[in-house]
Structures are given as structure tokens and as C-alpha cells.
Amino acid sequence: MWEYAPAPESRDIANLKPSYKMFVDGKFVEGAGEPLKTINPATEEVLAEVSTAAPSDVDNAVKAARRAYDRVWGKMPGSERAKYIFRIARAVQERSRELAVLESLDNGKPIKEARDADIPTAAAHFFYHAGWADKLSYAGYGPSPKPLGVAGQVIPWNFPLMMAAWKIAPALACGNTVVLKPAETTPLTALVLAEIIQQADLPPGVVNILPGAGDVGKTLVEHPDLNKVAFTGSTEVGKSIQRSLAGTGRKLTLELGGKAANIVFDDAPIDQAVEGIVNGIFFNQGHVCCAGSRLLVQESVADELLEKLHIRVSSLRVGDPLDKNTDVGAINSGEQLTRIQELAEAGDAEGAERWTSSCPLPDKGFYFAPTVFSNVSQAMRIAREEIFGPVLSVLTFRTPDEAVAKANNTPYGLSAGIWTEKGSRILWAANKMRAGVVWANTFNRFDPTAPFGGYQESGFGREGGRTGLEAYLDV
């Protein structure tokens, strides 16, 4: 192993401001809520103070979105809406370096991931949906599908800008207006997106962005003048939203947790599979709803695979997210770190075998070394619960039927991975998998043209692709 020289990206590129305001009706305004301090999880320093919404601000934002829908956006031809959405996409690209550094600072993710995955995927979602805006009549939802109205959207902290794009782009393309609440720990890139939206000259009120904690999200999703609610986050909060919306007739999509199985058959190209496993669970510190957090490996190749996996994981560089060589950055919050530590301890207590990379960890900030548990049985908490951190649980199987049975033995159903040389086995296994997305000989591939969403406790509704438009149309 060789030493890497430090390769830090400059934090000045982020254009960090000491304070940020909410975005309502086309203007940046102070919210009446208690301002929050957003921190850099890699160093625990305060990055900026952010204005938050009180219930009256939520009401004002929904009213602004309603006005914009009734007077302008809902009536605008798709070909005109498309121009605005293209402009947003272009500006996201133009400011991509700034956005990547800001995302890395606020979230803790490695700069190379923010730069190569989050920001380009966010731009791609705006480009893709701009293309749909004038073609909705050909989408298979009738000759002239209508928008729903005002959408309330709540997003999590794991892919802050990307989640904002996944929510806002399809809503606008279909002619809806939006009130969006970013996560409490990662509000900054959504507020730069608000600047971009202002620069793109979007009519006031079409997009409103309200930072704040869970109570702001709750007030928003329960607002009586919404036509649609879209939520990404924990299954627990998703269930409570579903309960509160029951009987209101409002359209709802939920993208919740996951405990994906990544299945490696004995004929799989092992070295390639190891790369896919590492990407599946250590990408974004494992803060990924579709993470391949359960590795199911055929018994005959388990020893070989585990040995190679340990060697590969030992080479992951953990540390400063702004260093371009960093593979695994900081855990997003102290709270999330505690949750990961508790679940890992449960793994020890229940008899799984813990292996941890011996990489050095920074003294300050929230870090958790990449960890692999082997000898895991299906009943253990680390095989059932979403850890949402850099922790992999390894189980074995003997026959393909056993692999499928174990993969489907979960209350979730968001994604799955299959590693085998045989195309027939891929099709056979994918057909039996109760998961919204199944990757074959790859993992964590995202594309705006491909629908993404879950089964069972992973939620319902799809985001992306033609299917994703349905969530924002009155069909």
C-alpha cells in the first residue's frame, strides 16, 4: 500500500454565507421559526445559521404555491415550462463545483461522490424532466393529462440536492407547484437551488423552500390545501404521514427504508462482485436507502470472497470529505452515528463476527470505520433493521431457492443485486425478487429514465422515468 498525498478541494469554492433565509413566493425571507445552525459533520464546526419556518410560514408558502398554480404555472403550455426547467438544469451544471463542495461540507460525503454522482444526477433529472414537459400527451396517460395542483415535499439528508431534484423536476414538468422541506442537517444546497430558481426567473411561488425540523415537515404534509404529498425518509415517519393523510383523497408517494440483498452466486466474477459489494454498502457512508446492506453469498465461494472483501475494504481511505482521495467521509450527524454504533453492538451481542477496517479515523467529527459482520443469521437485528451506515451483514446460502427466500425475507423491498455469469439465472432470480429495483452484475446505478421505488415497507409510487410522471398527474 502506498501513501496518498493530500488532495484537498478548496472550501472557498462553496461560497459559504454566514446565514441563509427561506425561499417563499420568489423571495428570500426570514422565517418566524427558531434559526438552526447547520454543522460540518467532518469537523463539528458551525457552517451557517439558517432561518426556519413556523406554521404561519408554511401557510404562506402553500398560499404562494396555490396562487402561482392558479394564475400562471398550471395554465402555462408545457413547451414554456420546459424552458424554465432547462434553465435550472443548465445553472445546476454551471454551478456544479460550488454545489459539490457545499454538499460535501454540509453532509460529510466525499467530494468525489458529490462531484461525480450527486450533482450530475440532480442536473440530469432537471434535463430529463424538461424534455417531458411538452410531451405529456404522448406519455400514455391520455390525450391531455392534467397536473394535480400544489405538492408538499419532504426530503432526507443523505442526498440533499439530488433528492430535491427528484422531487421538484417531475412536479414542475407536469405543471404542479411545490413547497419543499429539506432535512434539518442539510439545508444548504436546497437554498442555493432556490437562488438558481430565482435566477432562472421562475414565476414567484412556483417553488418554495422551507428549512426546519420534523415539525415543519409535519405541518407541511398535513396542510389542507395540498393536492399531493411526496416523502422520502424513514419508514416510521412515512407510516405516520400515511395515517394522517388517510381519507383526505390527497395523492401520496412514499420512498422509505430498505435492507437490500446483494446475492453472489458461485459462478460470479468474484473480483467484480467485490467492487460491487463495496460500492453497494460503502458509497455515501452507507447512508443509502437502496444500499446493499445484506450480502448473500453462496457457501462454496464465501471464504474466498470474504478474504478478498477484507483486503479491498482495508484499502478504503476514510477521512476528510473534501480530500479528493477520500472514499468514505463523515457520518451525517452525531445522532446517526449513535444509531449505527448501537446496531453494531447488537450484532456483537447476538453473536455475529465483527471485522473492522484498521484505517485511522480523524479525532474530530463523526466517523465510523467500514465494518463487515460475518456469521450473520436472519433473525439478528443487523440482518433485519436498516443500519444506514458503513456496516455490511454477510449471510450464506447453498441453493438459488434459498438465496431468493432469504433475500425476500424482509419487511422492506427497495432494491436487490444479483451477481452471476448466467443470464438465465439473472432473469430467474430478478423475477422472483420482491424489490422495486434489481441490479445485475452492478449496483447503485441511478438514471432519471429508470423508475425507482419500493415494495412493502419501502413505500409506494415510483420516481423517475415515464412511470414517475404518474405521481404528479391527475390520472
User: Does position 217 bind ligand NDP by CB under 6 A?
Assistant: yes
Q: How far is the CB of 454 from ligand NDP (least distance, A)?
A: 9
Q: How far is the CB of 78 from ligand NDP (least distance, A)?
A: 30
Distance CA(65)–CA(287), nearest Å, equals 31
Instruction: Closer to ligand NDP by CB, 391 or 407: give it.
Output: 391
Among the listed residues 184, 255, 463, 470, the single catalytic one is: 255
Instruction: Closer to ligand NDP by CB, 89 or 207: give it.
Output: 207
Q: How far is the CB of 192 from ligand NDP (least distance, A)?
A: 17
Cα 372 to Cα 50, 367, 448, distances in angstroms:
37, 16, 31
Instruction: Closer to ligand NDP by CB, 9 or 463: give it.
Output: 463
Element (H, E) at 122: helix 119-132
- According to CB under 6 A, which one of 213, 359, 361, 450 is a site residue for ligand NDP? 213
User: Does position 228 bind ligand NDP by CB under 6 A?
Assistant: no
* Catalytic residue status for 290: no
- Reported residue count of the chain is 475
Strand partners, 391: 371
- CA dihedral angle for residue 386, residue 392, residue 397, residue 400, rounded to 10 degrees: 70
Strand partners, 416: 261, 438
Distance CA(49)–CA(188), nearest Å, equals 10
Cα 206 to Cα 21, 67, 163, 168, 201, distances in angstroms:
17, 9, 18, 10, 10
Q: How far is the CB of 421 from ligand NDP (least distance, A)?
A: 32
**Which residue stretch of 10-18, 48-56, 120-128, 154-162 sits at the interface with ligand NDP (rule: CB under 6 A)?**
154-162
Q: Quick check: helix, strand or coil at residue 157?
A: coil
CA nearest neighbour of 170 among 453, 456, 454, 421 = 453
Residues 6 or more apart whose CB falls under 8 angstroms from that of 367 comprise: 318, 319, 330, 331, 337, 361
User: Does position 118 bind ligand NDP by CB under 6 A?
Assistant: no
- According to CB under 6 A, which one of 93, 121, 198, 234 is a site residue for ligand NDP? 234
Cα end-to-end span (Å), the chain:
57
Quick one: cell of 417?
Answer: 443485486
- According to CB under 6 A, which one of 125, 167, 218, 251 is a site residue for ligand NDP? 218
Instruction: Closer to ligand NDP by CB, 82 or 154: give it.
Output: 154
* Catalytic residue status for 289: yes
Stretch 369-398: interaction string toward ligand NDP, x if CB under 6 A: -----------------x-x----------
Q: How far is the CB of 75 from ligand NDP (least distance, A)?
A: 30
**Which residue stretch of 156-164, 265-273, 298-306, 425-433 sits at the interface with ligand NDP (rule: CB under 6 A)?**
156-164
User: Does position 181 bind ligand NDP by CB under 6 A?
Assistant: yes
Instruction: Closer to ligand NDP by CB, 237 or 403: give it.
Output: 237
Which amino acids are annotated catalytic?
255, 289
